[in-house]
Structure 1
């Protein structure tokens, strides 16, 4: 039997805080005027906190062997609570107001006291949900870019879906960070009328520019331009073509000057003649998760399922279809485990025109087993067998029809020709790939053979509209890059380019997560990465003649043929090529592939994101390491400033 005396141990350790003789650390906190000094003991700090263990390594001792740590961004009252926790393991939150508890959680996380941070997070969700709802912007902007606080993020995501007005109508809505607002606007499941979303976005944009006149009728051209620049990343996410004509005239028209002329023209044309093709990208309506989804007519549901540009995971589409089918048959038992053979047959008949439109071969194996298998009786035996076979052996030929992945995302806001939702021709092709090539994060670049005898009858799919081979580079860039690959002193003519640039990955289509790069480029050799730098005309990138290997970890890649570059574009008149100097580290494969993408040299061209999105946290860079120097001939940017990206593409270089 063990006797535990933790209470007395905690009490005795807490007494050390009053020891003014044996301390060897001074911690100064808070801003000038409120600054306060606390004494502590390095041995306690080191063993209780990995954060302070690292900090103490970096601070020198004075003549009295005392180390002084300065933390001006933590208030004295908060740090006193944290210090008592370090020594005694006790935090009394009953005497603290909710905002103090929230700030304590944030600071505990920064100081790497995960145990305390997680406990406070749970406390806020379980006991202070009302406060969290009314202080959405304050809390959300603190946790949005963090890799922690997953429960709080789930809490707020649930609010965004079910009670979005709590956010939009909150007093501090206009203090929401742009990135957080964008993440909300991207959602297909917002239960808010689109015109109200427009109103909220305009309200937010105006609030960021307090010098704008109160009455927009008095605005100058410069005033509208100011708002347009502020909202440049938000405006493309509005579903304009799902706003009524009356609301367009009453609410949108007064701000038409912040919209591109082509878009405004298409909005008016669509209001007058909705069946006439338009040029602007038509985003899908926010209908998938709406409460009235199950009341959709079958034809409307089918038209949605045919779309290649639904920004929804395929397994979620499956869930919605099952939900819709069950809702059409209210007599079915609530628990599908209790269903009879006749019950499954009823659902199968109800969904007979919808089931062929699911992209089964782009659903992960785990989701197949968890979500699809319980309803396998509504699928044809051949299809179910092929789904299982493909999950186990994705390279083995199958008989069932393999529909392409839904590859067009809301980020792809270029001027692609696209028809309105009412027209039958709803899909857009990517001409770079053969018709049967499926490229997904789970099964990178797998070619599925489809014999002539197909067992599934599907509706006739309309022909696809060809788009440009790239949304970043043009044919002149291809000629220049091809010349560099072949080490030519002059650039190939456009009619004499020896290579085809076959698209493997596009960020706006496939996602901006570092993991996506490794999943989709794994196994490909002879590739070029091109990146559009956010906020500039810059196009930078690198050529890797070697094979990308997502299993390599902390590994140097040796080659004499790689190079990095920047391309002429817009105001940038000249391209730059920088060839490898030290071939021992032409490229580097980091172990943390959820953070790092391609890395040429040390950081001469490197893509990185701590929030798993290259467009967000400005951690990509093209700079020479001050300690190790450059592995390439010269810098490809004039600035060492880190950056986010607007988009990026990876091409496989194929000899014609």
Structure 2
């Protein structure tokens, strides 16, 4: 017979970490004014982490204590890791997606590979919206680490459908060359080759110093510098798939950065197509047609009494920080109805019963008298707070909006600016609140159903022409899920 009392063992070792009894290692984490010292035990570090085993074998003791420094790690992340090393438990409750991703990177560095796969799955299952919002960074880091196979597959699945998420991102020009080369080697990029050329030139200019924004001022040395920058990327362009007009307008101004034989063959292909070409001809990229008709009718399940498919496309584009609105056939999310006021009720209690503790939700209300559709997106969960003055949750990704409808010619998007006050939690009588004033439900002390408030505070813009309380006619909450 064998008895396993692992919970008690975990608690005992966690207590040993907290009371630091007979410690012989001090780890300094952070830098400058944000530093914390962790007093730990070499025997536990040696046995539980290959990273620390290697560090300890070469460490020098001072007064019988080993000192280690980790200046490039956050205190919050290292606290999670050291507690896992001692107690075998990782708690991600209330952790921001950015913290969890930093944790994944640190776990990989500390060679705690048994957790890497689990954390990747957690991010993909619970924080896919955040992964999309930070796609360029996620893509680059995941392909720089061979242990991040699940994230690599997640990125590949997205790129096969939405390559512009990385090519149109604000930090595209910060991509490492190896990452760009991996992209250019793909045969399944559903983009026109001339557009890919534009992006490669844009990246090359950003990586080449001392280039004037006016090409007419460029010298031969400038073109040679750009050619050197792009020497590993240019052979991966499918030049013979670019139409004549784009050859003239886009390629010709840069023809001096191409090998002479390639430029000659490009001209020959368009001017004398019967003449044999000696340059290697890469196959056309496979523009896979994404078959969406079967799911198109179930993007909103069940159908909404407020939102149209065009509204959902616009909200989805905002969630992904996409520069243009998704085509209705390319919406990457399902909107699953959690609550409808006319069906379930308009009170805070109903809201929390049906929507609390569910991340990635979109809240929308309809005002019949003005034809307004107002709403907001919360990537975090909703919950009840018993604090006297409520409490706030921090996120960079929430936003509120007014949708184009009736007399509204243009939608209004208002992203959070004071991120520490992004989401407000109150008593069970309150409904959803974006900050404590910008947009929300629950008028103290009577909490009259259908009473909502909208002002300008912690978000960028006002989404109504007037401030204060107003009455709504319908109210819906959706859980969004990646398709």
The residue number in structure 1 matching 2:49 is 49
2:212 maps to 1:196: no
Give a deviation string over 1:592-613, Cα, whole Å, max 9, x none: xxxxxxxxxxxxxxxxxxxxxx
Shift of 1:270: 1.0
The size of the alignment, in residue pairs, is 291
Secondary structure at the aligned position of 2:61 is classed as coil
Secondary structure at the aligned position of 1:12 is classed as helix
Q: How far apart are the structure 1 equivalents of 2:238 and 2:44?
A: 56
Answer yes or no: is the 8 Å Cα contact 1:160–1:184 preserved in 2. no
The residue number in structure 1 matching 2:161 is 162
Give a deviation string over 1:424-444, Cα, whole Å, max 9, x none: xxxxxxxxxxxxxxxxxxxxx
Secondary structure at the aligned position of 1:35 is classed as strand
Q: How does 1:197-236 map to 2 (within 5 A)?
A: 197-209=196-208, 211-236=210-235
Q: How far apart are the structure 1 equivalents of 2:89 and 2:66?
A: 26
Give a deviation string over 1:218-250, Cα, whole Å, max 9, x none: 322222222111100000100101100001111
The residue number in structure 1 matching 2:186 is 187
Give a deviation string over 1:451-487, Cα, whole Å, max 9, x none: xxxxxxxxxxxxxxxxxxxxxxxxxxxxxxxxxxxxx
Q: Which moved more, 1:46-55 or 1:118-127?
A: 46-55
Q: How far apart are the structure 1 equivalents of 2:216 and 2:94?
A: 51
The residue number in structure 2 matching 1:424 is none
2:25 maps to 1:28: no
Give a deviation string over 1:125-175, Cα, whole Å, max 9, x none: 111122222322212222323221111111112222222111211222221
The residue number in structure 1 matching 2:429 is none
Q: How far apart are the structure 1 equivalents of 2:243 and 2:179?
A: 27
Could you tell me the TM-score, scaled by structure 1's length?
A: 0.42
Give a deviation string over 1:70-113, Cα, whole Å, max 9, x none: 22222222211211121222322232221111111011011011
Pick from 279, 282, 290: which aligns with 2:288? 290
Q: How far apart are the structure 2 equivalents of 1:150 and 1:84?
A: 26
Shift of 1:210: 5.6
Q: How does 1:355-434 map to 2 (within 5 A)?
A: none
The residue number in structure 2 matching 1:527 is none
Shift of 1:31: 2.9
The residue number in structure 2 matching 1:129 is 128
The residue number in structure 2 matching 1:139 is 138
Q: How far apart are the structure 2 equivalents of 1:211 and 1:80?
A: 44
User: CA separation of 1:215/1:94 partners in 2, compared to 1, >3 Å: closer, same or farther?
Assistant: farther
Shift of 1:2: 6.5
The residue number in structure 1 matching 2:13 is 13
Shift of 1:23: 0.3
Secondary structure at the aligned position of 1:30 is classed as strand
The residue number in structure 2 matching 1:259 is 258
Q: How far apart are the structure 2 equivalents of 1:79 and 1:208?
A: 34
Secondary structure at the aligned position of 2:84 is classed as helix
Answer yes or no: is the 8 Å Cα contact 2:117–2:150 preserved in 1. no
Secondary structure at the aligned position of 2:34 is classed as coil
Give a deviation string over 1:307-350, Cα, whole Å, max 9, x none: xxxxxxxxxxxxxxxxxxxxxxxxxxxxxxxxxxxxxxxxxxxx
Shift of 1:41: 0.8
Shift of 1:207: 1.7
Answer yes or no: is the 8 Å Cα contact 2:173–2:203 preserved in 1. yes
User: CA separation of 1:35/1:203 partners in 2, compared to 1, >3 Å: closer, same or farther?
Assistant: same
Answer yes or no: is the 8 Å Cα contact 1:266–1:279 preserved in 2. yes
Q: How far apart are the structure 1 equivalents of 2:230 and 2:284?
A: 21
Shift of 1:292: 9.5
The residue number in structure 2 matching 1:462 is none
Secondary structure at the aligned position of 2:201 is classed as helix
Q: How far apart are the structure 1 equivalents of 2:135 and 2:212?
A: 28
Secondary structure at the aligned position of 1:28 is classed as strand
Give a deviation string over 1:625-646, Cα, whole Å, max 9, x none: xxxxxxxxxxxxxxxxxxxxxx
Shift of 1:3: 5.9
Q: How far apart are the structure 1 equivalents of 2:262 and 2:133?
A: 36
Gaps of at least 5 residues in structure 2 are: 292-483
User: CA separation of 1:253/1:142 partners in 2, compared to 1, >3 Å: closer, same or farther?
Assistant: same
Gaps of at least 5 residues in structure 1 are: 294-656
Q: How far apart are the structure 2 equivalents of 1:215 and 1:93?
A: 50
Answer yes or no: is the 8 Å Cα contact 1:118–1:149 preserved in 2. yes
Could you tell me the TM-score, scaled by structure 2's length?
A: 0.57
Give a deviation string over 1:572-616, Cα, whole Å, max 9, x none: xxxxxxxxxxxxxxxxxxxxxxxxxxxxxxxxxxxxxxxxxxxxx
Answer yes or no: is the 8 Å Cα contact 1:137–1:175 preserved in 2. no
The residue number in structure 1 matching 2:343 is none
Q: How does 1:318-337 map to 2 (within 5 A)?
A: none
The residue number in structure 2 matching 1:72 is 71
Answer yes or no: is the 8 Å Cα contact 1:135–1:172 preserved in 2. no
Secondary structure at the aligned position of 2:62 is classed as coil
Secondary structure at the aligned position of 1:201 is classed as helix
Max radius of gyration: which structure? 1
Answer yes or no: is the 8 Å Cα contact 2:35–2:75 preserved in 1. yes
The residue number in structure 1 matching 2:248 is 249
Which protein, 1 or 2, shows the higher relative CO under an 8 Å CA cutoff with sep ≥ 6?
2
Q: How far apart are the structure 2 equivalents of 1:128 and 1:275?
A: 54
